[in-house]
A and B are shown apart, each in its own frame.
Chain A
Amino acid sequence: MAEKRTAAPAGKASSAPVVGREHEPTIFEFSSPGRSSASFRTTGIPEWGPADLVPAGFLREEPIGLTEVSERDLVAHVTRLTHRQYSVDLGAYPLGSCTMKYNPKLCDDAASLPGLTSVHPSTPEHLSQGWLELLWSLADTLCRITGMSAATLQPPAGAAGELTGLLLMRAYHESRGETRRKVIIPDSAHGTNPASVTLGGYETVTVPSDHRGLVDLEALKDRLDAEVAGIMLTNPNTLGLFEEDIAQIAAAVHQAGGLLYYDGANLNAILGVTRPGDMGFDIVHMNLHKTFAVPHGGGGPGAGPVAVSERLAAFLPGPMPERLADGSFTWKTPAHSIGRTHSWHGNALALARAWSYILANGGDGLRRVAEGAVLNANWLRHQLRGAYDIPYDRPNMHEFVASTSTLKKEKGLRALDVGKRLLEEGFHAPTVYFPLIVDEALMIEPTETESPQTVAALADALIRIAADPEGESQKAPRTTPVGRVDEARAARTLLPTWDAVAAESVGSPGA
């Protein structure tokens, strides 16, 4: 009926159907030679050419080929990518140890104020008093929350905080003329702990958990000697259990001349209830992207401040904000500082978000956070009894570990399958296969921001999955933008760039 039209130009059309499970082309496939989105302001500066500006030997001959797209196609592409992405703003993430709570929108606005975002990090202190006050106030408040005496805000992530803490431990022992080689960590610890221990120049010594899921105190005592620099603990631990013997653990470690390091991954559970400083810890890192509602950003940026007791304060990284007698703020580097751990002052905008979150909650609200988190987790554990194994079925804190050990024997249902099935039910998967000491572990942390209705719906979904006919769960997920992904192939035939894909399939990239 219609006239045959002329051939279409090469390249992808932005209106290509991407609804449902059709894959989204890469940004490079929308490229058309000569097209551009960029625009630059009028400056009035002479328009010298490249040869007038860069000596010939250093000048590149061809521009770097990025992509050549219109802003309209770029916006469409990226927006379609967001439709292929789960997030807290879409639904619940019962992801143990990760504290994927809802991040108040207020904090987005607070951290977007131009007076915060547009300030150069080298701005002299008398012109950046607002930032210094904010950072000082946050550090001071984090010390109040953890029961410590001074804090650095430089570490940009939890793992960076761990390494900073271990270097503080090293500096402390060296200041006393001691060389200690070993750091003890429980067998239930996060993988970042042993990796940080190695980078801190220490050897990892593992202490087992006992039948309660807690650090085996006798086994710990057996490992304590003059070579032990300290112990890294999470409390509540990665089973979601409070280390009830923490006072005895602290006494034993201190007795041996070691220090206690608190991995703050699970701090959400104890806000306003108890403090690492009161438990005897010397060094505490906090994951502000867990406990203080800095959104995870798809994997970062986070922030990993480190707070310490009085005897370690002189070793903290610098410069640090300090409050002077007249109420103004200055930068100061502690006397025996281990040095910088960040290019500037840490992930400052993440710190600003955390500060706005703390202001909104206040001391009373932070305790409410812990109460809500612990209540939701305990309630959910009760609901799952009978449907799943609960290897440590005792009062837990903000999270607990279930297992499909029995279900696997009965009908081949693995933790992985439960996670993938849960994606179909509209929830993110829990953390699976962690901690390593539990077979087929499902580590579940509902967080305090999920309503009782949502937690009940999660319980119902998990119970439904446990009752799935044999073989059913292995087909999941069927309603997500892609089905199960071939991870083995990704590692076997590494395609880390579009150029590698194009080289792999010459003539038909993307085929």
Chain B
Amino acid sequence: MGHFVPHTDEELGQMLADIGLSSLDELFDVIPEALRLAGGLAVAPGMPEADVLDEMGRLAARNKFGSDLVCFAGAGAYDHDIPSATNRLAFRSEFVTAYTPYQPEVAQGVLQALFEYQTMISRLAGLPVANASLYDGASAVVEATNLSTAATGRQTVWVSGGLHPHWRAVLHTFAKGTGHVLVDVPLRDGVTDWTQAPLAEPPAALLVASPNYLGAIEDVRVARTVADSHKAHLLVAIDPVSAGLLRTAGDDGADVVVGEGQPFGTPLSFGGPYLGLFACRMEHVRRLPGRLVGRTVDTEGRPAYVTTLRAREQDIRREKASSNVCTNQTLIAVACMIQMSWLGTSGLRELSLRCARGTRYTREAVTAIPGVELVASVPTLREFAVKLPVPGPAVVARMAEEGFLAGVPVGIEGGVVRDEGDALLIAVTEKRTKDEIDAFVSALEKVVR
């Protein structure tokens, strides 16, 4: 259809004549004849706008969600409420259709929003500097391990068995290029047992998530002590919602704090775009991956914002850059900043509290079902794992018929969590009401009977 090329036929003819051509095909004379596509693309002809929306609506209607499939799944993707203010503001077209702020004079809006985002992530992490975002939680842990291996000159990273199994998988994928050695440190009763780490080679870093994939709160201070004994970095993956109630990872000794920022203002979106959170100590700022916004002044001395320490980045440092990140998740970071502002100081605590309350209420009711037991006895905050008399995947399938996304199947093998198995990981957000939880528990009781 070509709806989006505005030229009239007359204008096309005139422009071609201006450059000495007589047809659009001649524009491509520089392409050898043998390489030119004869007969056009094997792609259906273009559709009018309303037909496209109908087709997209048809696809959307083939997915179950919301009240048809009440969400008790988490695993790093959480069903939170998003206020109208966040949706209305973050999707203003000045943000949506802007380019990367390489021309700061016309990009103060995005730059200032990112500066405010960085400030909030820094406070959340308890570390003095945060970048302007990475792709997702997985990319944030990859970049954190790259920072530590580069800074220490060591190649090994100890990875807690409680890390998100998909993040662990991504770490392994990229380690094929960097040659980093990833050593699993197993869980014991749901939390990392650092005494089980092999002592052969001193690690560049310890990587732990708190709460971890099973929802268990890890003791970051213990991990710090172990890291100190090897002069290694401590990398901590936080959940930004849990952070509202838990001690700050930076205060407990993290060198780098990473996380998945989706819970603040981004819908479930079938897994993306999400938001990689990244904050670190000031001594590591020159190895910080991705963009960093700093405050400065313009020629007249007025406050102004600009991407800074650009010499770290791939477009300048090229093959010597420690990260290849260019495009990031700016728009998601802007939405996150707006959502955090809307929540505010008391709202973040309240959100965390409400998730913890719903989780406790659900956990107590679920574990009261005969045959259902917690996978681990340690404290959890917004998510917990249970063993059931029926395998997890079967529970998910049958609970779907009752109108619930019951959770995410999970297993533990050799002390390391896996994304498949017979147990079930259940998450409860502030969105779940007592009535929904009661109905969920009744259905579960029926399903596992």
B97-115, CB under 8 A of A: which get 1 and which 0? 1111101111111101111
- The yes or no answer to B139 lying at the interface (CB within 8 A) is yes
In the complex, the answer to whether A349 meets B62 with C-beta atoms within 8 Å is no
B326-364, CB under 8 A of A: which get 1 and which 0? 111111101001101111111111110110111011000
In the complex, the answer to whether B319 meets A299 with C-beta atoms within 8 Å is no
In the complex, the answer to whether A364 meets B45 with C-beta atoms within 8 Å is yes
* Cβ contacts A to B, 19 pairs, < 8 Å: A38-B342, A46-B357, A50-B356, A83-B109, A103-B97, A121-B269, A159-B324, A167-B174, A195-B319, A244-B30, A273-B31, A298-B99, A299-B99, A339-B176, A360-B47, A378-B19, A484-B105, A485-B296, A491-B294
**For residue A501, which residue of chain B has the nearest CB?**
B295
Which chain A residues in 382-416 approach chain B with CB under 8 Å? 382, 394-395, 397
Q: Which of A2-10, A60-68, A462-470 contacts B (4 or more CB under 8 A)?
A: A60-68
A7-30, CB under 8 A of B: which get 1 and which 0? 000000000000001011011100
Q: What residues of chain A lie closer than 8 Å to B217, measured between beta carbons? A: 54-55, 58
Which chain B residues in 284-321 approach chain A with CB under 8 Å? 285, 291-300, 302-306, 308-311, 313-321
CA distance A117 to B183 in the complex (A): 36
**For residue B431, which residue of chain A has the nearest CB?**
A41
Q: What residues of chain A lie closer than 8 Å to B226, measured between beta carbons? A: none
Which chain A residues in 136-167 approach chain B with CB under 8 Å? 141, 144-145, 156-160, 162-163, 166-167
CA distance A283 to B358 in the complex (A): 48
In the complex, the answer to whether B269 meets A69 with C-beta atoms within 8 Å is no
With A350-B272, A490-B306 as contacts: A141 and B43 at CB distance below 8 Å: yes
Most buried by A among B19, B77, B94: B94
From A52, A115, A120, A423, contact of B77 by CB (8 A): A120
CA distance A493 to B77 in the complex (A): 37
Q: What residues of chain B lie closer than 8 Å to A48, measured between beta carbons? A: 356-357, 360
**For residue A160, which residue of chain B has the nearest CB?**
B135
With A88-B97, A160-B139 as contacts: A64 and B248 at CB distance below 8 Å: yes
In the complex, the answer to whether B49 meets A301 with C-beta atoms within 8 Å is no
In the complex, the answer to whether A299 meets B110 with C-beta atoms within 8 Å is yes
Q: How many interface residues does chain A have, given as a range?
A: 35 or more
In the complex, the answer to whether A114 meets B105 with C-beta atoms within 8 Å is no
With A64-B348, A81-B108, A116-B63 as contacts: A247 and B34 at CB distance below 8 Å: yes
What 8 A-B pairs come out closest when comparing CB atoms? A344-B271, A115-B60, A85-B109, A38-B347, A362-B46, A297-B331, A130-B62, A121-B271
In the complex, the answer to whether A348 meets B2 with C-beta atoms within 8 Å is no
- The yes or no answer to A452 lying at the interface (CB within 8 A) is yes
What's the least CB distance linking A332 to chain B, in Å?
Answer: 14
- The yes or no answer to B22 lying at the interface (CB within 8 A) is no
Q: What residues of chain B lie closer than 8 Å to A66, measured between beta carbons? A: 120, 123, 340-341, 343-345, 348
Q: What residues of chain B lie closer than 8 Å to A501, measured between beta carbons? A: 295
With A121-B271, A367-B41 as contacts: A343 and B63 at CB distance below 8 Å: no
- The yes or no answer to B1 lying at the interface (CB within 8 A) is yes
Apart from A108-B96, A483-B302, A486-B304, list 15 A-B contacts with CB within 8 A: A45-B354, A58-B247, A60-B247, A71-B85, A79-B92, A85-B106, A296-B327, A301-B329, A360-B46, A382-B18, A382-B19, A423-B103, A429-B103, A490-B308, A494-B309
In the complex, the answer to whether A343 meets B274 with C-beta atoms within 8 Å is yes
CA distance A144 to B42 in the complex (A): 6
**For residue A82, which residue of chain B has the nearest CB?**
B94
In the complex, the answer to whether A497 meets B99 with C-beta atoms within 8 Å is no
Which chain A residues in 427-452 approach chain B with CB under 8 Å? 428-429, 434, 448-452
In the complex, the answer to whether B53 meets A109 with C-beta atoms within 8 Å is yes
With A40-B430, A68-B346 as contacts: A299 and B93 at CB distance below 8 Å: no
